[in-house]
Amino acid sequence: MCRDYLIKRSIYAAAQVPAYLIVDPVMAQCVLFTEPTGHGEDADYRCRRITAFGDSTPLEPVGIELDTSRFAVYENVRPHRYP
């Protein structure tokens, strides 16, 4: 998870990828990052939206809503501290 929330997030933001979605079965949530800013290792996203599994996740950059009602959750796994 660390790679998804830190390393990949910075790489995609630096490349100006308009939206980066993490589907996180440990925390039972989707995290959508939008509005990339910055360069190199300092790049990041300005906006973050967290949606719990079971709720509809709007993905405005691609014009759809993601139904997460059937997403599985990892049980008996220690939670992490990201995002």
The predicted model scores a pTM of: 0.90
Q: What is the residue type of 6?
A: L
Structural domain contains residue 32: yes
Domain extent for 55: 2-67
Our count of domains for the chain comes to 1
Structural domain contains residue 80: no
Q: In this predicted model, what pLDDT tens digit does every residue of 58-83 receive, in sequence order?
A: 998 889 999 999 999 999 999 998 87
Paired with 50 in beta bridges are: 31
Nearest residue to 48 via CA among 77, 78, 9: 9
Structural domain contains residue 35: yes
Other C-beta atoms within 10 Å of 45: how many?
22
Structural domain contains residue 10: yes
Q: In this predicted model, what pLDDT tens digit does every residue of 14-67 receive, in sequence order?
A: 999 999 999 999 999 999 999 999 999 899 999 999 999 999 999 988 899 999
Q: Is 1 a residue whose pLDDT tops 90?
A: no
What backbone phi and psi angles, to 5 degrees, belong to 16? 60, 35
Structural domain contains residue 81: no
